[in-house]
């Protein structure tokens, strides 16, 4: 297969099954599941080939000219592969989970069709080779996630959908203006390591700052940077697999990933630093981290608490991008992966509690650890990871971010990290405490699935969180190993800085 077709194949391996699923009759759930899983496995195989290639310095580029000076480019570089592998792996688990979660519910063809389109868009975002291609998939993601958010068709869901669209399409408009302006200033801007704007004449600096503001504001909507985060808690009405996807893989991550791309590969981190753009970005990220954690403290609904936690945790990625120096970069980029596996575990678990026991609120969780030990272990691991306890994945991220802050001579960031960790502990530990140490008083709100044969809930609901919890542990324990997320993040960082300081 020619090298250019591999990135296209990765995108199409969810697009084609997605389209096919739309046309399936509702009752054909076996065929639907087979299509879904075949797509997911094909994608993983293609990615495996590309991972090997990228490690061996091969270049996979697909390019198609849309208009003169406007190319659709898919390129599998190191940063892209990090996000692609994460999304593809988590998509696989989320698909398994969603098949179990939605068993017997209506409109599943529609759901899984859009689910696949959503992953298609995420793959495109990850591998986009320039801002236009990025924008294309960014908007496709908006369109593909809307049907998932409103899937239940209730008044609350439709309202959430409206708010979601207002925020994300508004953000998309800002991104479009920023992109068009940048193309007008600098021509077609490809994503290249080290950025490509440093050569522009000095008098463009003012306009470049403004463009940066537009781009980051447009991306910040999906990344849920405060004050653009309003849609995220509202979108919690969606089914649990959707929340998992939105928070860990697709939407929020797309925004954060876009910020990373803009800082490193459009402006170039050194040029962004010289324009004085990094400190305001760091401040915005820090504000988001603290604000999200504070708000999470006051949520009684488990999923809403997790949602605010996402607001806070995703900002770590933006923070890493804003810390000038390779160590901070490593922290931010690796958190892209670490936050993904930890947050998806938490949402899987929250979905399990809701689906199995009818538990939605934090104060209803008393004694759930005894009834659902495996789910609760997974939840506990992920929550500890979020807090940043060693040797879990979250610790690695925070360690590098902290070192990066010192390297960038922004010691106040350390205070933010410390405060955030304390707040994380303050809103996660009570949940963990209730799970394990509070006795159950009274029956469960609605016990949908009875424990039988040693399984606390449906198998399809149990395997995904256990797998991702194991990843949370593994990514922390074996962070120093080769081809760990940390190793890839180091590879990325090495390519972004012109002078590599180990």
Partner 1 sequence: MATTELADPIPWLVLLPLAWATAAFVLGPGRGGRLAVAGLAVQAALALALAAEVLEAGPRRYAVGGWAAPLGIELLADGLAAFMLATTAAVALPVAVYARGYFRAVSRSDAHPKGATWFWPLTGYLVAALDVLFLAADLFNLYVGLELLGLAAVGLTALTGERAAVAAALRYLLASLLGSGAYLMGVALVYGAYGTVSLATLAPLIEPLPAVALAAGLMAAGLALKTALFPLHFWLPPAHGGAASPVSALLSALVVKASFYLLLRLWFGIYAPLTTAAAAQLLGALGAAAVVWGSVQALRQERLKMLVAYSTVAQLGYLFLVFPLATGTGPAAAAAAWGGALLQVLAHGLAKAAMFAAAGAMVLAAGRDAVAGLGGVGARLPLSLFAFALAGVTLMGLPPSGGFTAKWLLLRAALASGQWWWAAVLVVGGLLAAAYVFRVLRQAFLPVEAASTGGVPRSLEFAALALALGGVLLGLFGERPLALLGVG
The Cα 265–Cα 416 span in angstroms is 27
Q: Does the protein bind partner 1 through residue 70 (CB under 8 A)?
A: yes
By CB under 8 A, name the one of 34, 184, 210, 429 that touches partner 1.
Answer: 184
The SS3 of residue 327 is helix
Q: DSSP E strands: which ranges in 39-197?
A: 60-67, 70-76
- HEC string of 47-84? HHHHHHHHHCCCCEEEEEEEECCEEEEEEECHHHHHHH
User: HSE (CB half, 13 Å, CA atoms) of 157?
Assistant: 15
- The separation between CA 112 and the C-alpha centre of its own chain, rounded to angstroms, equals 19
Stretch that binds partner 1, among 65-73, 255-263, 339-347, 364-372 (CB under 8 A): 65-73
Beta bridge partners of 370: none
Question: Using an 8 Å Cβ cutoff, are 347 and 248 in contact?
Answer: yes
**Residue with the two structure tokens 């969606």:** 238
CB of 311 vs partner 1, minimal distance in Å: 24
Q: Does the protein bind partner 1 through residue 161 (CB under 8 A)?
A: yes
- Considering only residues 83-142, where is the footprint of partner 1 by CB under 8 A? 132, 135-136, 139-140
Q: Does the protein bind partner 1 through residue 165 (CB under 8 A)?
A: yes
Burial 461-471 (b: 16+ CB within 10 A, else e): bbbbbbbbbeb
- List Cα–Cα distances, 326 to 141, 333, 472, in angstroms: 30, 10, 23
Count of residues in contact with partner 1, rule CB under 8 A: 34
Binding-site string for partner 1 from residue 20 to residue 39, where x marks contact by CB under 8 A and - marks none: --x-----------------
Helix axes 251-261, 108-127, angle to 10 degrees: 10
Is the Cβ of residue 184 or residue 429 nearer to partner 1 in the bound state?
184
Is the Cβ of residue 158 or residue 463 nearer to partner 1 in the bound state?
158
Binding-site string for partner 1 from residue 250 to residue 289, where x marks contact by CB under 8 A and - marks none: ----------------------------------------
Stretch that binds partner 1, among 31-39, 58-66, 399-407, 433-441 (CB under 8 A): 58-66
CB of 389 vs partner 1, minimal distance in Å: 42
Q: Does the protein bind partner 1 through residue 157 (CB under 8 A)?
A: yes
Q: Does the protein bind partner 1 through residue 181 (CB under 8 A)?
A: yes
Q: Does the protein bind partner 1 through residue 201 (CB under 8 A)?
A: no
Binding site for partner 1 (CB under 8 A): 22, 64-68, 70, 72, 132, 135-136, 139-140, 143, 146-147, 150-151, 153, 157-158, 161-162, 165, 169-170, 172-173, 176-177, 180-181, 183-184
């Amino acid at each position: 297969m020619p090298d250019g077709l591999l990135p296209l194949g990765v995108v199409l391996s969810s697009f084609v099954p997605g389209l096919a699923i739309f046309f399936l009759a509702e009752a054909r759930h076996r065929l639907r599941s087979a299509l879904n899983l075949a797509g997911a496995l094909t994608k993983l195989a293609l990615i495996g080939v590309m991972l090997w290639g990228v490690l061996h310095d091969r270049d996979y580029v697909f390019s198609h000219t849309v208009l003169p000076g406007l190319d659709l480019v898919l390129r599998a570089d190191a940063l892209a592969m990090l996000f692609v592998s994460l999304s593809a792996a988590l998509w696989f688990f989320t698909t398994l989970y969603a098949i179990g979660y939605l068993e017997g519910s209506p409109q599943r063809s529609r759901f899984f069709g859009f689910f696949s389109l959503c992953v298609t868009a995420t793959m495109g975002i990850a591998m986009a080779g320039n801002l236009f291609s990025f924008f294309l998939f960014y908007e496709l993601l908006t369109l593909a996630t809307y049907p998932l958010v409103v899937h239940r068709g209730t008044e609350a869901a439709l309202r959430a959908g409206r708010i979601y669209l207002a925020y994300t399409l508004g953000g998309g408009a800002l991104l479009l203006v920023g992109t068009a302006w940048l193309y007008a200033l600098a021509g077609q801007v490809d994503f290249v390591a080290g950025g490509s704007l440093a050569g522009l004449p000095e008098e463009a600096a003012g306009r470049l700052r403004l463009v940066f503001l537009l781009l980051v504001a447009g991306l910040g909507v999906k990344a849920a940077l405060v004050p653009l985060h309003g849609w995220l808690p509202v979108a919690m009405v969606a089914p649990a697999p959707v929340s998992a996807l939105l928070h860990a893989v697709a939407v929020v991550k797309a925004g954060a990933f876009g910020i990373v791309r803009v800082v490193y590969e459009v402006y170039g981190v050194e040029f962004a630093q010289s324009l004085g753009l990094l400190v305001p970005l760091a401040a915005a990220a820090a504000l988001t981290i603290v604000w999200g954690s504070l708000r999470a403290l006051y949520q009684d609904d488990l999923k809403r608490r997790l949602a605010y936690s996402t607001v806070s945790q995703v900002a770590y990625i933006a923070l890493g991008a804003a810390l000038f120096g390779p160590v901070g970069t490593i922290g931010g980029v690796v958190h892209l992966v670490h936050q993904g596996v930890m947050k998806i575990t938490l949402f899987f678990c929250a979905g399990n509690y809701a689906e199995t026991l009818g538990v939605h609120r934090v104060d209803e969780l008393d004694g759930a650890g005894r009834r659902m030990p495996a789910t609760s272990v997974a939840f506990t691991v992920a929550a500890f990871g979020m807090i940043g306890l060693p040797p879990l994945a979250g610790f690695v991220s925070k360690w590098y971010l902290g070192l990066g802050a010192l390297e960038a001579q922004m010691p106040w960031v350390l205070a933010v990290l410390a405060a955030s960790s304390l707040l994380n502990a303050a809103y996660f530990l009570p949940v963990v405490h209730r799970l394990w140490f509070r006795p159950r008083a009274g029956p469960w709100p609605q016990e949908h699935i009875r424990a039988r044969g040693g399984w606390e809930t449906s198998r399809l609901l149990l395997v995904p969180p256990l797998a991702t919890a194991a990843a949370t542990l593994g990514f922390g324990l074996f962070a120093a190993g080769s081809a760990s997320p940390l190793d890839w993040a180091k590879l990325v960082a090495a390519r972004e800085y012109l002078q590599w300081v180990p």
